[in-house]
Structure 1
Amino acid sequence: MKRLLTMFTLVGVVGVLGLSTSVLASQFAIVGGKVHTLTGQGTLAEATVLIKDGKVEQIIAGSKSPRGYERIDAAGKVVTPGFIGAYTALGLVEVGFSAGQVDASTTNHPVTTIGAAVDVSYGINADSTLIPITRMEGFTTAVTGIESSDYLFKGQGAVIQLMDNDPLLKARAFMALSVNNASASDTGGTRGTLWVALKQALSEAEYAIDTDLSPTQPWYGMISRADAKALGHVVQGHQPLLIKADRKADLLHIIALKEAFSNLNVAIISGSDAWRVADQLAAANIPVIVNPEYNLPGAFDTLGATLANAGRLDKAGVKVAIGIETHNIRLATQHAGNAVANGMSYDAALASLTKNVAEIFGIDQQVGSLAPGMRADVVVWSGDPLEVTEAAEHVFIAGEPIKMQSRQTLLRDRYLNLKQDKPMVYTRP
């Protein structure tokens, strides 16, 4: 009886103070690790990261832990911001070539004539089995969008946080399209048609900014009303325009496009030949999202592919992010490590998975670095996160530790611990 009274008394005190048990549990001190802040504070050889109410409260040198915080020993370990998948299909697809809905592709529909109006945020599935697999590897945020489309544009992508509930961090975060060979084939069979159609679409969107696009008013544009509204954010620079391109000629056209539409906020995806025009890209302030593993000419678009691409772009002053156009973005840490082996600086490689991605997509006031007031997406690594032999040991998203568990680990544990006293069909984990 005394124990019950004590428990109820404690609950009452918590209630009077306006606190909850979840709030009390959300104060953490990650103590004594090597902390990469990705800010002006730089890298601290030994520091403590304080997390409170879902935010980074403070980063202090040394290994002292204040009272009232749950202590996590990070001595000899590495602490980074949560990594950000720069371009993925996470939450939109489970297995691309299997039965079931694949929300990472789109086909023709009357609501749009060029695909710009497509909004992937409606297709995001918080229950995707791929999300836990990815966040266990230190990725806490992902940029997700359409992989394949019959349209000129791949529609508007989203930024998601890799949580179990309410993953959408930023809807309509960017507009995407491709100007490679395959896209030219789908748009009149030639780049001569594709580029004319692209410029016409952007021009109509500019015109439509001050136009009544309601159904009661006539509209004679090549693009639909819905497309014009969507592209209005692009031509005003409010929404990044991601253009997949590889060959030098296309990259130069993109630079010219930004000059023609001066408000465009352009970023390039892939960019196999980007190193050949690195100085022009830097001068135009056009970032590149690269897969640094591309090193073979898989098509005439990619004859200039090289493992040195990311490093050369970084040295030229181009903002580089590392991304893989797939749901398997967790492998990007290995790719970043290989980029370092081929000339990219270590700090630039870390930035390519964190701060640079956040800046490209306009979420750098929330994620991508460790500083007071930033969302507490924090990862404690066993060692160097760019080494394949090291792993994430603790992952925090918005200040809460995630379960280091996925469907894969559950299956592993199930079949490693089978009971032998029953036939296999009656055995449960």
Structure 2
Amino acid sequence: MKRLLTAIAVAAITSLPALAQTVAVTNGRVVTNTDGGVLNNGTVIIRDGDIVAVGTGLDLPQGAEVIDANGGWITPGLFHPATQLGLIEVGAESSTRDTAADESVFNATLRVSDGFNYEGSHIDESRIDGITRFALYPSTGSSILAGRGALADSSGEAGSLFADDQFMLVDLSRSGARTAGGSKPAAWAYLRAALNDARTYPGRYMSSQTGIVLNRADAQAFEAAARGEMPIIFAMDDNADILRLIAFKEENPGLRVVIMGGAEAHTVAQELANADIPVILDPMRNLPDSFDVLSSSMEAAGLLFDAGVDVAFSTAASDSYFNTRLLTQHAAISVAHGADWADAFRAVTLTPAEIYGYGDRFGALAPGYAGDLVVWDGDPLEVMSAPTHVFIEGEAQSMETRQTRLAQRYAEIRSDAEYAYHH
């Protein structure tokens, strides 16, 4: 983990002439997510999109734009590890959904980036609640191989999708069992056959367009994941399935394995820690809706942290496309049920970035990290706290959404206007 600059380095940086894109955020409780810990009355200096200094008592660069946190909290931007932002606009309207292709002959080769709408209205809602980065997930179609996910920022601008083809989603949950033919053995058999197809690509496909279970395009798309060049996100909840996955990883040591769901993961927490398998968990998910999640508990996050498992928090129990803004509330629930505050906050910032290979770029406040920063008027895990400023790579973001404009419009209807549409 990168440390704070030494006094000499800070002096050297702050003596340089300020550029137009220099921002200094001051007078706040700085949560660094590094060995530097939490700094009272701290300052973060961002130049040309990157953090160049973090500390207390820093000299501000001449000409820098100064943002006074007024004693609030200064934190890294939130990183949501599993969303469908920009892939769904209205959940009940199929024409606005680009998450799955039930009738397609393609599965692994599907890319969520091809359906991503960077102007989706729910992205703005997430941004003003502190989410600056998020992972885009497909939904399962006609196979347990759902397709390839991507990473985006919440600026709502063209180019906000900054990393494509970052992971493969494989559904080994109860729904995956149904998709594979009706049972978990069928899902596991399909997975093993698919890995065989991908690992023998292109040789097996020199004289044919089909393998054991994958067509040529899907085998090519699955090859990188099958060879450990990108993570495979396995959707599963049941502890017996999780133990099977741990054994499967031991049989296939080259695979990069992550669990999404993990409702019963805490019951095998030490085994997961020993296997070095991260878990993407919703700490609010505790209502058993199937036999796979009977042991779900709001204490799960704390138990996983205590065992040393890398945990990132999601909002799956609320929604993955319009309630992603509740990420800090879900993290707070874990603290209320035994998790340490620092662990919970790391689970919505740095740990998700690490899971996707960007732990040296996002999720912390230290020199060299991107200037993704949020100023809060209070503890970010307190339900009544809210961001006052959001920066993405040093650029101040709009705190306005369609919802805020509507709220303002109808809160200020004039008494002399007969109808709302006259306002």
Which of 189, 205, 225 is matched with 2:216 structurally?
225
Aligned match of 2:393: 398
Question: Within 5 Å, which residues of 2 pair with 1:84-233?
Answer: 84-98=79-93, 100-110=95-105, 112=106, 115-165=107-157, 166-208=159-201, 211=203, 219-233=210-224
For residue 10 of structure 1, what is the aligned residue in structure 2?
none
Corresponding residue SS for 2:285 = coil
1:117 Cα deviation from its structure 2 partner? 1.0
Alignment of 1:35-114 (within 5 A): 35-62=30-57, 64-98=59-93, 100-110=95-105, 112=106
Structure 1 residue 25: deviation in Å? 4.2
Q: Contact 1:106–1:146 (CA<8 Å) still a contact in 2?
A: no
Amino acid in structure 2 at the alignment position of 1:143: A
Query: Partner letter of residue 412 of structure 1?
Result: A
Is the Cα–Cα contact under 8 Å of residues 308 and 339 in structure 1 kept in the other structure? yes
Deviations 1:398-422 (A, max 9, x none): 1101111001001011111223434
Q: Supply the AA of the counterpart residue of 2:141.
A: S
Does 1:347 find its partner at 2:342? yes
Q: So what's the TM-score if we normalise by structure 1? A: 0.90
Aligned to 2:282: 291
User: Quick one: distance in 2 between partners of 1:135 and 1:148?
Assistant: 27
Cα separation, 2, equivalents of 1:176 and 1:218: 23
**What is the one-letter code of the residue matched to 2:373?**
V
Distance, in Å, in 2 between the alignment partners of 1:384 and 1:211 is 56
**Counterpart residue identity of residue 45, structure 2:** L
Q: Distance in 2 between matches of 1:74 and 1:62?
A: 15
Amino acid at match of 1:367: F
Q: Distance in 2 between matches of 1:156 and 1:287?
A: 19
Cα root mean square deviation, aligned: 1.7
Residue number in structure 2 paired with 1:338 = 333
Q: How far does the alpha carbon of each residue in 1:378-404 deviate from its partner, in whole angstroms, 9 at most, with x for none?
A: 001111100001111110011101111
Using the alignment, how far apart are the partners of 2:413 and 2:244 within structure 1? Answer: 60
Query: Alpha-carbon deviation of 1:306?
Result: 0.3
Note closer, same or farther for the CA distance 1:160–1:360 as it changes in structure 2 (3 Å cut).
same
| Whole-angstrom CA distance in 1 between matches of 2:147 and 2:70 | 45
- 1:358-369 aligned within 5 A: 358-369=353-364
Amino acid at match of 2:414: K
1:91 is displaced (CA, Å) by: 0.8
Alignment partner of 1:109: what SS?
Answer: coil
**TM-score, normalised to structure 2's length?**
0.91
For the Cα contact (< 8 Å) 2:315–2:330, is it kept in 1?
no
Name the amino acid aligned to 2:328: T
Q: For 1:178, give the aligned amino acid.
A: D
Partners of 1:422 and 1:345 lie apart in 2 by: 53
Q: Is the 1:294–1:306 contact (alpha carbons within 8 Å) kept by the matching residues of 2? A: yes
Equivalent position amino acid for 1:129 in 2: S
**Moved segments of 4+, more than 4 Å:** 216-219
Report the structure number with the largest CA radius of gyration.
1
Q: Deviations over 1:24-73 (max 9, x none)?
A: 54211101211111122222122110011111111121365332111111
Query: What stretches of structure 1 of length at least 5 have no aligned partner?
Result: 1-22
Residues 426 and 314 of structure 1: CA distance in aligned 2, closer, same or farther (over 3 Å): closer
Task: Give the letter aligned to residue 157 of structure 1.
Answer: G
Partner Cα distance (2:203, 2:53) in 1: 48
Indicate the residue corresponding to 1:274 in structure 2: 265
Corresponding residue for residue 310 of structure 1:
301
1-structure distance, mates of 2:143, 2:76: 36
- Tell me if structure 1 keeps the 8 A contact 2:104–2:142: no
Alignment-mate amino acid for residue 237 of structure 2: D
Give 3-state SS (helix, strand or coil) of 1:376's partner. Answer: coil
Residue aligned with 1:149, SS: coil
Q: Deviations over 1:245-294 (max 9, x none)?
A: 11111101111121121111111011111011111100110000100011
Letter in 2 for 1:250: D
The answer for unaligned runs of 5 or more in structure 2 is 1-17
> Does the 8 Å contact 2:361/2:369 carry over to 1?
yes
- Residue 377 (structure 2) pairs with residue 386 (structure 1): no
Letter in 2 for 1:252: L
